[in-house]
Amino acid sequence: MREALSRISNSNTSLDKIKLDSMLGAVLLNMGVIDMETEELTSSETILREAEDLLTPNSCKPEIVITLINIENNLGILWSNRDEPGKAKTFLLKAKSLYEDFKCTLQMPLPIESIISNTCEIAAGDFMILEKAYTLTLYYMAQIYGSLKENLKSAIYCHVTLRRQLQYSDYEPIEWSLNSAALSQYFAEQNGFFQSRHHLAAASTILDQYEAKLLESESNDDAYLAKKETFKHRSADVARCWAKYCLLLMTASKARLMNDADRLADAITDMSNLELEDNENICGGDIKKLIFQDLDVTKYESKIVDKFLLTYQDARDVFLCCQTWLNKAKEYYKLDSLASDYIELIQDSSQSYSYLAFFEEDDERRAKMHKRRIDMLEDLIKEINPTYYLQYCRQLWYELGEVYSEILNIKLDKLNKSKEKPTPHLLKKVNMLCEKSIENYDHFLNSVKDKNGEMPAKLEFDMIRPVISAYAFIGRNSMKRIALDKNVQLNHVKKSYDSYQAVVDICKRDQEAARMMNEEHSLCQEMVNILPLKIKKLERESVS
């Protein structure tokens, strides 16, 4: 067909030259796509460039524009497959310009199907073929900017893609909702809680619409049951994204109060403080415009704020919202069937209590919140096997060590502030908290050691900080244990010394660890120098 069309086009035919070129361009496009799918990239590029050269002189013709945009899109994909996103971008920008230039002509596109069938009447849906091709251009641009690490532009192109899919009713509801929810996570990480909440609300709204249609066609056949199961699964995923939104809002609010207490009025949560070089006019330079204007999402937006939290009541409202979404996710993710996801949900729940405790001023109430964390984490770790879930067990042991330390510090602060003599019950409580914290940190450290009980000569990068921090916490908490007996005191100090020495040994063997944990290394080295004197003193006192 390629040769036949070429011969006819080059002959003195009375047939329309532009239509012949359009058909030849479509043939070349399909040949190039087939070569790309079979990983014949060199051949694919040659054919696609031939098609590009053929059609470019008449790029604004209704018969040409759709095919040429698809050619540029596929050249973009080709160079992306070669890991050259910069070159891929140039072809996608050509496709974008082709679309914009053609729209300015106020003509209707003529798809290849109409040309081949020789029915040149304009159908109502013809423009949709052009719009779909352009939507794909924007989608590919989002991927390319992601590869180029221009994450803000990538996110904006993702949004514009989603908005156009809504505008033209050209989307699959489950997939659209997941993409919108995933995009919301990026916005939340940039403190763009206005945009993040809106995209999550949009995701939930589309899921509601889909559920209503699903219920209208309720049946017991396999296809319907599969759709229902997929809906439950993906609704749980969106619920998890809502919970993450709550956690990120609480995290950012805590960090802001700790680091920027004097500038509480400058609370920007809509990314309007970010600079965007919008030379492609993707959002008019206004990041606040990243909304779906034709979609009513107030049902969900009204349930949670998008501003930084200042008070305990602010935090409590977000905390309760977080728990609601976590409980919804747990309706699908169960420990006995989807253990990893369930474990992460419990970890998220624990973190939400931690952030709420930050906003609580009453020490006893704070301690109870941390106790609630202990209960859920200890109940969980009893149910999971370290052989299969070692990574999660490590995280849980480490967090339990931290939580017991948090309660310990609350009790010690109360003890130090009080002018009354500490009760035996309080002293026993302090020692129990020390022991439980140390016990969990020891579990964590033992899981990192080899079968001979030795630490690796060089720790994995991700393990350096937690291992050194765990040893440092054990060192500190061992010294906080209260004992009247000198021999017991001596054992506590020796345990502390051994922990600090372990940090010094790790940093001596591993310069990367020493650099990363420089402050902790220095403090531990100082304690290793000091504690032998205390040990000798206690040894003398225990003998006498």
Question: What pLDDT, in 10s, does the model give residues 129-157?
Answer: 999 999 999 999 999 999 999 999 999 99
For the CA atoms of 307, 313, 317, 323, the dihedral, rounded to the nearest 10 degrees, stands at: 120
Q: How far apart are CA 284 and CA 506, in angstroms?
A: 53
Over its C-alpha atoms, the chain yields an Rg (Å, rounded) of 32
Report the domain count for the chain. 2
What percent of the chain lies above the pLDDT cut of 90? Answer: 77
pLDDT of residue 281: 72
Q: Helix/strand/coil (H, E, C) string of 14-72?
A: CCCHHHHHHHHHHHHHHHHHHHHHCCCHHHHHHHHHHHHHHHHHHCCCCCCHHHHHHHH
* 78 domain residue, yes or no: yes
pLDDT of residue 14: 46
pLDDT score recorded for residue 461: 93
Least trusted range by pLDDT, from 192-206, 238-252, 366-380, 479-493 = 479-493
Whether the CB-CB separation of 305 and 320 falls below 8 Å is answered with no
Q: Binning pLDDT at 50, 70 and 90, where does residue 57 land?
A: very high
121 inside domain: yes
In angstroms, rounded to a whole number, what is the distance separating the alpha carbons of residues 325 and 236?
A: 8
Q: Residue 10's pLDDT is what?
A: 59
Which CATH number do you get for residue 500? 1.20.58
The CA angle 336-337-340, to the nearest 5 degrees, is 90
Reported as a single tens digit per residue, the pLDDT across 289-312 is 789 999 999 999 999 999 999 999
Is 73 within a domain?
yes
In a domain, 355, yes or no: no
The answer to whether residue 344 sits within a structural domain is no
Q: 52 is written with which tokens? A: 């590009």
CATH number of the domain encompassing residue 111: 1.25.40.10
Domain boundary among 130, 153, 170: 170
Residue 148 lies in a domain: yes
What range does the domain containing 493 cover? 458-543
Torsion, CA 425, CA 426, CA 428, CA 434, rounded to 10:
160
Asked if residue 141 belongs to a domain, the reply is yes
Show which of 153, 170, 187 is a domain's final residue: 170
pTM value is 0.90
CA distance 207 to 204: 5
- Residue among 48, 144, 52 at smallest CA distance from 90: 144
Q: Determine the Cα–Cα distance for residues 368 and 357; give it in Å rounded to an integer.
A: 9
Look at the block and give the residue holding tokens 């591993």: 510
CA dihedral 49→54→60→61, nearest 10 degrees, is -140
Q: What is the pLDDT of residue 287?
A: 78
Burial class (CB in 10 A: 0-12, 13-18, 19+), 442: middle
- Closest by alpha carbon to 154, among 118, 179, 177? 179
Asked if 66 and 111 count as a contact pair (C-beta separation under 8 A), the reply is yes
For residue 45, tell me if it sits in a domain. Answer: yes
Domain termination site, one of 170, 203, 230: 170
Range name among 21-25, 271-275, 397-401, 537-541 with the lowest pLDDT average: 271-275
For residue 440, the one-letter residue type is: N
E-assigned strands of 103-199? none
pLDDT band at 7 (very low <50, low <70, confident <90, very high): low
